Amino acid sequence: MEKKNSYSRRFFIKASAALGALALVPKYVSSFYRDIKALIVPVKEHINLTVSVNKKPYTMQADTRSTLLDLLRENLQLTGTKKGCDHGQCGACTVHVDGERTLSCLTLSAMTVGKEVTTIEGLSEGDDLHPMQEAFIACDGFQCGYCTPGQIMSAVACVKEGHTGSVEEIKAYMSGNLCRCGAYNGIVESIQKVAQHETI
């Protein structure tokens, strides 16, 4: 791997020097150079990264293409975060990145280096569920449960952001999380319950 790499570089330097001598306009040299570099120099398709998930650092080698969602589920076996659409349209994959709700299916894992990721597994403290998890149980905030981890992560953020002034506001700020079972009323109730508790 290393060898091939250095051979290609040497070849590329020779090739580009020859081409550079031929070209007269400097602007073309640089774009030529980049063109050829893109073709010849082997692309590094794997990177070493350290990602902090639920306050624990994980170091691994990952494909540059991997999304945070796939990294969580496939590399770290944190399967609480769900894959619904994989295209940003359903919210099932919602996690918190540096405290902000984020779609893990549209996040490249390479871009989460140096950030703190919180998943549904990181909400509870030992056996003590997070108040939002308790509220979802108490208010029937789910049926099949597939959208639920994403709903709960989004709901926690919704309360933190202060978008709980009315049912309409809650619905608007939870619209990024779809529920095919239609547990919406229970979800709104859960959020109201937690929001009320937090303002007392």
Partner 1 sequence: MRPFEYVKPKDSKEALRAKTPTGAYIAGGTNLVDLLKKNIAVPHQVLDVTQALSDKITLKRSGIEMGAMVRNTTAAINPTILEQFPLVSKAILAGASPQIRNMASIGGNLLQRTRCPYFYDTSLPCNKRAPGSGCGAYNGENRMSAVIGYSADCVAVHPSDLCVALAALDATVVVQDAQGKKRSILFKDFHRLPESAPQQDNTLPEGALIREVYIPKNAFHKHSAYVKIRDRDSYAFALVSVAAALQLDGNRIVAARLASGGVAHKPWRWLAAEQFLAGKETNATVFAEAAALAVQDVRPLAHNAFKVDMLKGAIETALQEALQA
Identify the residue among 108, 137, 172, 181 touching ligand FES (CB under 6 A): 181
Could you say whether residue 117 binds ligand FES (CB under 6 A)?
no
Kind and range of the H or E run holding 96: strand 94-97
Could you say whether residue 89 binds ligand FAD (CB under 6 A)?
yes
Could you say whether residue 52 binds ligand FES (CB under 6 A)?
no
CB of 66 to ligand FAD, least distance (A): 17
Identify the residue among 81, 107, 151, 164 touching partner 1 (CB under 8 A): 107
Measure the N-to-C terminal CA separation of the chain; round to a whole number of Å. 62
State the Cα–Cα distance between residues 98 and 86, nearest whole angstrom: 21
Could you say whether residue 173 binds ligand FES (CB under 6 A)?
no
Label residue 94 left, alpha or beta by phi (over 0 means left) and psi (-120 to 50 means alpha).
beta
Could you say whether residue 87 binds partner 1 (CB under 8 A)?
yes
Q: Is 171 exposed, middle or buried (0-12, 13-18, 19+ CB in 10 A)?
A: middle
Q: Which is nearer to ligand FAD, 108 or 137 (CB)?
A: 108
Binding site for ligand FAD (CB under 6 A): 88-89
